[in-house]
Structure 1
Amino acid sequence: MNIKIFCEGISDQRFLRDFLFVHYKIAISEEELKKNNVIYNLGSWNKLKNHKLRITNDFSDYTSLIFLDADDEKVTDKPGFDATIKFVTELMATWNWSKYDIFVLPNHQDTGTVEDLLENVINKKHLQIFECWNEFENCLSKDKSLTIPAKKSKIYSYLECLHGVTNQEKDKCKDPNRDFQDESLWDIKNLENPYILKLKTFLDKHLK
């Protein structure tokens, strides 16, 4: 495999690991994941600029695939799809580096985050959970003094509703322990889903 992947966080890292296995039969071990050997967890989008030597020297024989969220203006100074593309393009230009490609989450067109992608690739038989969550948010929004929970909480709650009550089961809800190959929870094989198709089409350019 002649690529190295850079993404913002643990949830992205695990999702992409499972996506590579499901669609390309590329197996990345837990040890490799923790060592950032193939899929590198940046920690946040703006830490990409700290990895010039890794990308242009250590990984010079590879194409760097960069996955960043198209955050909205409330959470970042890199708001939206266009600004995310601009940030990466300008950074790579200052490095005089062309062996890269970028996919902007959630779907390479809309403002959002990896959590928006995850919400759109759940097993559809559990849509009721999000319908209830949306009613909860609508209720909270009536009181301007209240804060709407983060999207991360929404995904955690989705999993919490479907896992057991023991500590071991609760641990499965956390980012490092999520299993996106579990078809009872996620549907990441379905190429009729535009979110899956967009990502698969992007990776096909580099893996076929």
Structure 2
Amino acid sequence: MTKHDLINKIIALEWKMFHEVPNVGGPAACQNNPQTFEIMRRSQALSWSEKTLASYWQDLVEAEKKERNLMTEKYARMMASTFPEEYIEIRHHLPPLDPEVPELIEKIIKIILVWERELAKQYPYVCQRGRPIYSSEDNEYVTSLETYLRGELATFSLRTLKLYLEDLLQYSRENKNMSKIILEETVKNYGYNSLEEANKKIKSVIQKQLGD
């Protein structure tokens, strides 16, 4: 199976799970927007090694066999920061984490947040369109990247987390910013040729709106 085929299979199963995530008040708007989901998930997946993708695909398949929805679990775990009181009431429904997992998650988050800070300095207008970086910025309407990562990574197997951390360390050894690579792919899918162009055009739109 090629990397392209593997990513397609991953996104298809992720979308199935995402579309089935229960939501108070009915499906969220994003659950009816497969195009945006596709862009975001593909941009991320392209930055992963084939070993990590294959391991994550196995996680998804095994979860489906056990009737676990990893997307539901991800958003439930995010509630530990966004809705802590409600989280206390549901956390017993979530599978326990391997003892090694929390430390691995924090190592991964530490690396990614450094990259995200660099991006926010280089491309502030593009980054303003996304999530805030830190969990301290969470509220009932907005979830930070840090909280999102902590929820998502907790759905990965120990095997996948170790492989993903190795991917990040390899990018670091090559002095590359993995978050930048993902964001570059994302903006290209929205019609921009580069992050520089996207940042310049978004800045222009914002300034025009403020001028109006």
TM-score (norm 2): 0.29
Larger helix fraction of residues: 2
Q: Which has the higher strand share?
A: 1
TM, length-normalised to structure 1: 0.30
